[in-house]
Amino acid sequence: MPFKYEEAIGLKKFGQPYAWTDREVMLYAYGIGMGADPMDEKELQYVNEGYYTPKPLKVVPTFASVAAWGAAPGHIDVNRVMVVDGERDITFHKPLPVAANITADVSVVDIFDKGKDKGVVIIRQTVLRDEKGEALATLLASQFARGDGGCGGPGGAQPEPHPIPKRSPDKTIQITTRPDQALVYRLCGDRNPLHSDPEFAAKGGFKRPILHGMCTYGITCRAVLQTYADYDASAFKRHAARFSAPVIPGDTVTVDLWKDGNVVSFEAHVKERNVTVIKNGKTTLA
């Protein structure tokens, strides 16, 4: 039985307390693959606090996606085996600190019912606030519950995605994932067994555990960091993307990027399997 639209729309829960230290910041950066080259000083600044000559630790902007992992507006009874990420869109109001005590305000802001046997898209908004109550980041998260269509909600069209330029990419980079990367990334908060248990993954229609969509999202943040932001996390004002296919741990992710003013458009592909894994990506830089 799908959940009822009336019970889910407008759910909200404000003031949920969370905290992090430099440990969580470094684990996230390592989880999205940073620090693979122990001599790359630009990436080491995101995974290492122990320099001989002191240097400040930096925070990957998309750490915001796990900073309050588990924060929810209330319970929505979806078929967990059939749930995948749809989109993420984070607006950054301030650079994230290395350690913090925060609160998370979470609400369901939209539901798009595609119909029975077609699934439903649930959109949640999370606002992360510092100890002064000032907003650090606003996250919009789209969840595609493939087994819960027919909940009774409106089926209207979702907002138009960001268009990718027609010209050839201005830059293309390749980022190789590790075969064990999902097992590391899950320690950032998302313990969904779809990413760690072969039997559970098979129940969801996958031949093997897949990489977290949010890990792929972080990989695209890395791509912009190293190409157009010169590893300056404070340059990020927004980072948004649509998930179109899963990455399998061990895949090489090819990221195509286009820069127009302060907007970087991007898409990501796994050429070995001829699939596009991220579409309609958009980063706004300062």
Active site residues: 190, 195
Rounded Cα distance between 130 and 96, Å, is: 10
Residue with tokens 């010209």: 167
At residue 181, what is the residue type? Q
Among 122, 99, 113, residue whose Cα is nearest residue 49: 99
Q: Which residues pair with 128 in a beta bridge?
A: 104, 137
Q: Which long-range contacts (CB under 8 A, 24 or more apart) does 167-170 make?
A: 167/258, 169/256, 169/257, 169/258, 170/257, 170/258, 170/259
Rounded Cα distance between 175 and 249, Å, is: 12
Residues 127 and 104: beta-carbon distance below 8 Å: yes
Q: Which residues pair with 98 in a beta bridge?
A: none
Question: Would you call 249 exposed, middle or buried from its count of C-beta atoms within 10 A (0-12, 13-18, 19+)?
Answer: buried
